Amino acid sequence: MKIRIKFAKRGSLKFIGHLDVMRYFQKVIKRAKIDIAYSEGFSPHQKMSFAAPLGVGLNSEGEYVDIEVNSTTSSKEAVERLNQVSVEDIPILSYRLLPDNATKAMTLVCAADYRLDIRAGYEPIFDLKTAFTRFMEQESIVIVKETKKSQREVDLKPLILKYEAFDSYVCLQLVTGSVENLKPELVMDALYNFMNTELAPFTFQITRLEVYGKKSEEEDILIPLESFGEEIE
């Protein structure tokens, strides 16, 4: 059986990397006595995969890990058992059964919601709400994106699916995935360049709120990854 677990990552634990989160969940699954399936071969490992690993320093209210299990309890009991052995800053939010033919979360991801809050003492010299509106009124937002091996021009505008700007924070829905993946930091850097201002490091506290996949190949509708599964009674 395929299970999708939703969890949050808060507080000081936002500074631990993806590999540490993966090792952490391997131990939590064991301690909670979840009947997880293992691969075969000389070095068996838990059948587990994560959706769109979160960058170091970001909080999240919508992270996902898919596992395969041999048997399972109800969703309510599984969440309780997992939270009993989990730390406070990585609470388990849901535990849902997926269809047998479900696509892995890491493949399914195509968008994510973020909230970017200005830290105290880092307030910009411009009005954030007005500036962001003007920024998005441009026909295109072309930047030079650097990779380890090359540079390429990218238009950010079609990768920003939704936005809402306020006096002290911005909410963004961005294209996320293996083909195109827009980081919120890149959007704010482009905004500050547009305003002829340098973006200081750590200006924004970034929180990922949710991760989405397309409801179906035929329907171009985004739904949260947990909505692909159902509660186990």
Are residue 81 and residue 144 in the same domain, yes or no? Answer: no
* 174 shares a domain with 146: yes
Whether 142 and 161 map to the same domain: the answer is yes
Residues in the chain: 233
Entry pTM = 0.92
117 & 48 share domain: no
Q: Residue 81 pLDDT > 90, yes or no?
A: yes
- How many domains does the chain contain in total? 2
Q: Calculate mean pLDDT across residues 200-207.
A: 94
Based on the fold, state whether residues 100 and 174 are members of the same structural domain. no
CATH label of the domain that carries residue 58: 3.30.70.580
Judgement on whether residues 227 and 137 belong to the same structural domain of the protein: no
Same domain, residue pair 119 and 204: yes
d(CA 35, CA 73): 9
d(CA 48, CA 221): 26
Are 53 and 103 found together in one domain? yes
Q: Which domain holds residue 182?
A: 110-212
Q: Are 38 and 48 in contact (CB under 8 A)?
A: no
Same domain, 77 and 48: yes
Return the amino acid letter for 223: I
3-state SS, residue 1: coil
pLDDT tens string 141-198: 999 887 777 788 899 999 999 999 999 999 999 999 877 889 999 999 999 999 999 9
DSSP 53: P
pLDDT range class, residue 71, cuts 50, 70, 90: very high
Tell me if 210 sits within 8 A of 113, measured CB to CB: yes
Q: Contact 145/132 with Cβ under 8 angstroms?
A: no
